[in-house]
């Protein structure tokens, strides 16, 4: 694989570069030739002229391209509006195909089904790279549909953009289709001697406590923790809702886990109702954290990622970097995170409106992320391992002040959250048995009664939810004869056994200590016949328990099924009466009422 990268400086210079490529191809063994054209300008006539020049000179060449927020060439941001990359595959086993489809939310499934069919008919395909228009289109369903593609494929790409970050105009094009502002272009590459690897870099670290996304629709984030989303940025970061909102929040995107991968979503603007426009869809009922971008931390992760490619011995890198990262770094420093890849192989790409990368069975849309694809033809035998060059003196062995502060805040927040979690557990747990305490099991019973009321009985008397109440027979004798320490051991053994029986026979049920040696079990979805069977298992299992000092013990149990329209207290009185009857009838038995 060979690659030629150059900046467009007019038709005359373009013609000279194409002729040099043609001459090299004529003097060498080649398989496929593909041109990738990245353009910050939306001048379609100029792009069409460039494409015609390529085809006129090299008719067998393929091409594809996209409008961008900036171009990457030789590992750095290009200084011209248009950049061109020519990749020449040399192995005869390498195959290349370019597809282009119109794309909208209405036909996205049709596009993916067609793409999947092509892949099925061409088992040589190992990677798919996409350029796609996405502004104004929700990509959530489309990404879910892309999960249909075979899992062994590397899938990555970027969203077309324009040089103006606030402009929705964007287009893609290829040798398989015309310039279009509603389309997706796919580059399929594979073969026995073709090798590919892809990964991503964020570098933004979570900061502070988790926030629950309580209301969101598409790319609009309405509420966090039940409050207008904007309040979070104002309260914690003092970011005002003004013309600088986007730039001030760029260092602080939201980070949340989606399909097992950390995903960033950056705010674009705050609306009058306190909602926030995000760069892409964000789901409801997910835990999100504000993240912070620290340049030292980002570069350290970039360096480690570049080093991870050394053993692969790549011959070319394609990178898709979010336009937000370009804004974050500025044009003078944005190359700091792409030059390390250039030090081991030619690196090109563009600044996107969103990045795509497959993770397992899922295709995710990223924001504020750097996606890197490495390619190579042939094996690595006999090839010298490349070494990443990067000036690491600024961060090697040191941690920036802001990174230390962010780490401190995050660690302190996690400790506080864990302490609060433990306090929450303690508030509803019986200290000795580690089952629910009486207040919590009563709350769960009342909650179940409320659910039954909301559903309505419609004449159905019984709810299919039951209670089991139990009491250890003659437990006072255990304490009096063998001591309270042994009595506690009996209670703990009963509790452990209850958990095991419930997990095995009545999953979803809850057990609690009612008081002293009395226990209560709530069994949602179990009628009194099933509850009676479970009560019998508990009685038999308890009778078999062996204690360090005390003899075998027995237990009496009452069972009842909750009735629609009655309160939780009435159900508890009835099950308590059933337990009393079991005691009065000779103990060590189950009574159902």
113 tagged catalytic: no
How crowded is residue 389: how many other Cβ atoms within 10 Å of its Cβ?
13
What is the Cα–Cα distance from 231 to 220, expressed in whole angstroms? Answer: 15
Torsion (CA) 255, 259, 261, 267 in degrees, nearest 10: -30
Cβ-based burial of 410 (10 A; exposed 0-12, middle 13-18, buried ≥19): middle
Torsion (CA) 456, 461, 465, 468 in degrees, nearest 10: 140
- Output the 3-class SS for 284-304: CCCEEEEEEECHHHHHHHHHH
What is the Cα–Cα distance from 41 to 78, expressed in whole angstroms? Answer: 13
Query: Mind listing the pLDDT tens digit for each residue in 62-93?
Result: 999 999 999 999 999 999 999 999 999 999 99
What is the Cα–Cα distance from 18 to 23, expressed in whole angstroms? Answer: 9
Residue 135 pLDDT = 79
Mean pLDDT of 226-248: 85
Identify the top-confidence range among 27-31, 83-87, 245-249, 456-460. 83-87
Q: Which helix (H) or strand (E) holds 462?
A: strand 462-472
Banded model confidence at residue 191, pLDDT cuts 50, 70, 90: very high
Query: Mind listing the pLDDT tens digit for each residue in 383-429?
Result: 999 999 987 665 544 445 455 556 656 666 677 777 778 888 888 99
Closest residue by Cα to residue 553 from 538, 542, 541 = 542
Tell whether the model's pLDDT for residue 238 goes beyond 90: no
CB 169 within 8 A of CB 197: no
Mean pLDDT of 495-522: 93
Residue 411 pLDDT = 65
Look over the chain and give the mean of its residue pLDDT values, rounded to a whole number. Answer: 90
Strands 220-224 and 510-515 come out as unpaired
Q: Which residues contact 401 (CB under 8 A, 6 or more apart)?
A: none
Residue 404 pLDDT = 54
What is the Cα–Cα distance from 557 to 577, expressed in whole angstroms? Answer: 10
Query: Mind listing the pLDDT tens digit for each residue in 353-380?
Result: 999 999 988 999 999 999 999 999 999 9
Residue 398 pLDDT = 43
Residue 402 pLDDT = 56
Tell whether the model's pLDDT for residue 436 goes beyond 60: yes
What is the Cα–Cα distance from 225 to 175, expressed in whole angstroms? Answer: 49
Residue 456 pLDDT = 46
User: What are the CA-CA distances from residue 480 to residues 474, 483, 543 (Å)?
Assistant: 10, 6, 20
Residue 321 pLDDT = 97
Banded model confidence at residue 223, pLDDT cuts 50, 70, 90: very high
Residue 95 pLDDT = 97
> Which residue spans within 327-407 are E strands per DSSP?
347-352, 355-359, 362-366, 370-377
How crowded is residue 229: how many other Cβ atoms within 10 Å of its Cβ?
29
User: What are the CA-CA distances from residue 545 to residues 62, 284, 521, 541, 549 (Å)?
Assistant: 77, 47, 19, 7, 12
**Residue 71: half-sphere exposure toward Cβ, Cα within 13 Å:** 23
User: What are the CA-CA distances from residue 154 to residues 151, 160, 360, 366 (Å)?
Assistant: 8, 20, 10, 16
CA angle 101, 104, 109 (to 5 degrees): 75
Tell whether the model's pLDDT for residue 309 goes beyond 50: yes
Residue 345 pLDDT = 97
Say which of 517, 540, 541, 561 is annotated catalytic: 517
């Amino acid at each position: 694989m060979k690659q030629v990268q150059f900046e467009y400086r007019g038709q005359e210079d373009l013609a000279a570069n194409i002729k040099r490529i043609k001459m090299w191809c004529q003097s060498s063994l080649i398989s496929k030739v593909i041109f990738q054209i990245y353009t910050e300008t939306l001048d379609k006539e100029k792009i069409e002229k460039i494409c015609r020049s390529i085809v006129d000179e090299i008719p067998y060449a393929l091409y594809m391209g996209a409008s961008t927020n900036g171009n990457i060439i030789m590992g750095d941001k290009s200084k011209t509006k248009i950049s061109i990359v020519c990749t020449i595959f040399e192995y005869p086993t390498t195959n290349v195909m370019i597809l282009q489809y119109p794309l909208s939310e209405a036909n996205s499934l049709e596009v993916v089904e067609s793409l999947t069919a092509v892949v099925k008919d061409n088992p040589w395909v190992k990677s798919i790279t996409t350029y796609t228009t996405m502004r104004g289109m929700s990509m959530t369903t489309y990404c879910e549909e892309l999960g249909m593609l075979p899992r062994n494929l590397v899938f990555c790409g970027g969203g077309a953009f324009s040089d103006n970050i606030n402009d929705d105009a964007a287009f893609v094009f290829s040798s398989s289709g015309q310039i279009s502002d509603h389309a997706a272009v796919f580059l399929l590459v594979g073969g026995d001697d073709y090798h590919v690897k892809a990964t991503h870099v964020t570098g933004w670290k979570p900061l502070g406590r988790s926030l629950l996304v309580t209301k969101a629709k598409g790319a609009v984030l309405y509420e966090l923790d039940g409050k207008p989303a904007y309040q979070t940025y104002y309260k914690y970061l003092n970011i005002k809702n003004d013309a600088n909102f986007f730039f001030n929040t760029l260092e602080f995107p939201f980070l949340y886990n989606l399909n097992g991968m950390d995903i960033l979503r950056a705010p674009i603007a705050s609306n009058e109702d306190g909602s926030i426009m995000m760069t892409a869809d964000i789901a409801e009922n997910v835990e999100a954290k504000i993240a912070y971008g620290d340049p030292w931390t980002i570069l350290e992760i970039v360096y480690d990622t570049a080093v991870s490619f050394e053993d692969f011995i790549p011959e070319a890198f394609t990178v898709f970097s979010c336009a937000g990262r370009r804004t974050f770094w500025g044009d003078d420093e944005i190359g700091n995170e792409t030059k390390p890849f250039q030090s081991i192989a030619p690196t090109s790409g563009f600044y996107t409106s969103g990045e795509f990368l497959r993770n397992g069975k899922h295709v995710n849309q990223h924001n504020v992320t750097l996606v890197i694809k490495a390619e190579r033809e042939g094996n690595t035998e006999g090839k010298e391992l490349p070494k990443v060059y990067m000036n690491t003196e600024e961060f090697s062995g040191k941690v920036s002040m802001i990174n230390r502060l962010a780490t401190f805040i995050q660690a302190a927040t996690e400790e506080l959250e864990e302490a609060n979690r433990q306090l929450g557990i303690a508030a509803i747990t019986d200290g000795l048995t580690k089952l629910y305490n009486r207040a919590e099991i009563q709350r769960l019973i009342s909650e179940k009664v409320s659910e039954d009321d909301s559903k309505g009985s419609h004449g159905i008397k019984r709810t299919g939810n039951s209670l089991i109440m139990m009491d250890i027979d003659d437990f006072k004798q255990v304490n009096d004869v063998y001591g309270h320490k042994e009595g506690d051991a009996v209670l703990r053994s009963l509790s452990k056994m209850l958990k095991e029986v419930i997990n095995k026979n009545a999953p979803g049920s809850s057990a609690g200590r009612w008081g002293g040696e009395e226990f209560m079990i709530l069994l949602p979805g179990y009628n009194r016949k099933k509850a009676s069977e479970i009560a019998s298992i508990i009685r038999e299992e308890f009778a078999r328990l062996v204690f360090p000092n005390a003899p075998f013990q027995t237990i009496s149990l009452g069972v009842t099924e909750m009735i629609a329209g009655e309160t939780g207290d009435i159900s508890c009185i009835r099950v308590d009466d059933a337990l009393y009857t079991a005691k009065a009838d000779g103990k060590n038995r189950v009574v159902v009422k």
